[in-house]
A and B are shown apart, each in its own frame.
Chain A
Amino acid sequence: MRAPDTVSAAAPSGSSFWTGFVATFRLEVAEAFRARWFAFYALVFFGLVGLLLVFGLTESRVLGFTGLSRTLVTYIQLTMAILPVFILITTVRSLAGDREAGVFEYVLGLPVGIGAWYAGRFLGRYLLASAPVIAALLAAVIYGVIRGVRVPWLELGFDIGLLLVMIFAFVGLGFLISALTRSVDTAQTLAFIIWLVLVLGLDLVLLGALIRGRLAIEGVVAIAMLNPLQVFRTGSMLLFDPQLVLLGPTAFTVFDIFGRTGFMVWSFLYPLVLGLLTAGAGWAIFRRGDLP
């Protein structure tokens, strides 16, 4: 048979941005379901919730938190510790790895717009990074409801929102790092360094700088306000712990300056804007340079 021979000389029909975007998004998701990183990633968060349910939904009271509130607080704090580095490393490994593996050369030799491809991969990666985290959290809530435990709906909704914007920020950072680097090794190293710098910028570490008087209070507050990890940490505890007794001194200062509502708005908007800016910068760098 010679089926495509007749169409070889015909004018092929076009593929729009949406066709390329949807096809790339679908492919990113299909590929992830077969990837070990995604299975491990989902296993970690569901395992975490499982462990917390086993040890968390008891009558024990820890620092004023009981039942599902205690589980949520613990889950969110643990999430803050492992999620960013997980997202950064898996995202840069995937993108930089694809570049090294000749995937960019092949896929970007197809008639898919760079914008459609980039946006499709970004959204796919964002969905993949968010789904296990949120699904595990919701599983805990469903379990709690079945067990007749009081669900802190307001806090839960707020913290899910915070998780979603934090994931958005780190996926954006991952895309920027991938656009800046040409190899998996470099990308992973840079991602790890960035994560380490952010951890060092948490208020428990900043406390030391404050005590030693080496940093002005304005500097410490600025670092805390610009560090997405600290913003998430403070934001996620706002509703559970309005007095912020569990948080460090910068959180207090920030809370004093912004007030509760102001900081809640900031904790949503800042990671969102950071994610948009970093993803946008990654896109600008990527499209201007050599693609493979």
Chain B
Amino acid sequence: MISLKGVVKSFGATRILNGIDLEVPTGQRIALIGSNGAGKTTLFRCLLGEYTHEGAVLVGGRDPRRDRTDVLRLVGFVPQVAPRLEMPVAALMRYVADVTGGRVEDIEAIAARMGLDVAPIRGRAFVKLSGGMKQKLLIALALGRPTRLLILDEPAANLDPAARAVLFDLLAERSEVTMIISSHRIDEIAALVNRVIELEHGRIILDDTVTDAGALGSTFVVRLTTARDEPSFARAAREWGLEETGEGAWAGSVAGPDRLRFLGFVARHAGLVRGFSLDEDTASQGGERRALASSP
């Protein structure tokens, strides 16, 4: 479904994507994680054909830059930050339905499932909606039309727990749709995805399948060093069962099924983390230890 080969994107002297190679088969669901500035949104914009870049990007075998309408017909997109659209809600829904070949009724139905009654806000400018309402409507606009690829940039941001649960149900229902979901809270989407990709400084530093055989019942040994003492980090680390073994050094173990949530915890403190390793503890299972992630 998606093929990226040697994708490089720079803004002036700053290189945001630094040679991304990635193949995503149809139907795969990817959690794209990484700290701010890692290149997630830039990668999305390359997939949407919005950025020029070096290397090759193909979606469904087509170049989204050259064949943008053909490619984007397949794509539903939820941006990280809601655009400040001045247009009325009704005009926005009609526009999206017109250009995508969808139906306003379908968009409204998804919005209703998300807990957003569109009727009273039809005439209101999109920009005047609350953060949660905007997010629900953007999700409805992406899911309420025919798609084969969903690109969701922090889709659960601004959503209350009930709406988040509905969103995950809606995504889970779309079993044949390829998805790339960016989230800082990987624990929330862990159940939805079958692959995790972590970006750092424009490079893929982790590419792991979630449903590998060793995940269930396995244990991972964690070693982590931080640049400085941070009480909130220390509190959270202890909740994960880690113990401080030296100045800024932490160690412990994490259950296999919990490792994505744990990676999310680490990603949220990426600015603090100086070194990190997560190795499968196969000693107790008679096998060799397999490194999942490690960085100096």
Contact = CB atoms under 8 A, between A and B. Distances in A.
A256 interface: no
B91 A1 contact: no
Interface in A88-132: 101-114
Contacts of B86: 31, 34-35
A291 interface: yes
Q: How large is the interface on B (under 10, 10 to 19, 20 to 34, 35 or more residues)?
A: 35 or more
Contact of B50 (A12, A24, A108): A108
B81 to A, nearest CB: 5
Interface stretch (A13-21, A164-172, A216-224, A236-244): A13-21
Interface string A146-163: 000000000000000000
B99 A110 contact: yes
Contacts of A12: 73-74, 100-102, 145-147
B77 A27 contact: no
Interface in B100-127: 100-102, 105-106, 109-110, 113, 125
B177 interface: yes
Contacts of B71: 111
A14 B79 contact: no
Interface of A is mostly: loop
Nearest to B71: A111
B77 A290 contact: no
A291 B65 CA distance: 10
Contacts of A8: 146-148, 174, 176-177
B69 interface: yes
B231 interface: no
B85 interface: yes
Contacts of A5: 173-174
Contacts of A108: 48, 50
A288 B100 CA distance: 24
A62 to B, nearest CB: 42
A292 interface: yes
Interface in B31-86: 45, 48, 50-52, 68-75, 77, 79, 81-86
Interface string B154-188: 00000000000000000001101100000000000
A9 interface: yes
A153 to B, nearest CB: 39
Nearest to A291: B50
B240 interface: no
B252 interface: no
A73 to B, nearest CB: 37
A63 interface: no
Contacts of B292: none
Contact of B84 (A7, A13, A101): A101
B99 A1 contact: no
B126 to A, nearest CB: 10
B83 A111 contact: no
A109 B75 contact: yes
B98 interface: yes
Nearest to B176: A9
B28 to A, nearest CB: 14
Contact of A105 (B83, B96, B102): B83
Contacts of A214: none
Contacts of B88: 30, 34
A19 B113 CA distance: 29
A6 to B, nearest CB: 9
Given A3-B144, A31-B85, A110-B77, 5 more contacts: A8-B148, A14-B101, A27-B95, A30-B91, A290-B50
8 contacts: A20-B69, A101-B84, A103-B83, A109-B72, A111-B71, A111-B75, A111-B100, A290-B45
Interface of A: 1-5, 7-15, 19-20, 22-24, 26-27, 30-31, 34-35, 101-114, 288-292
Interface of B: 45, 48, 50-52, 68-75, 77, 79, 81-88, 91-92, 94-96, 98-102, 105-106, 109-110, 113, 125, 138, 143-148, 151, 173-174, 176-177
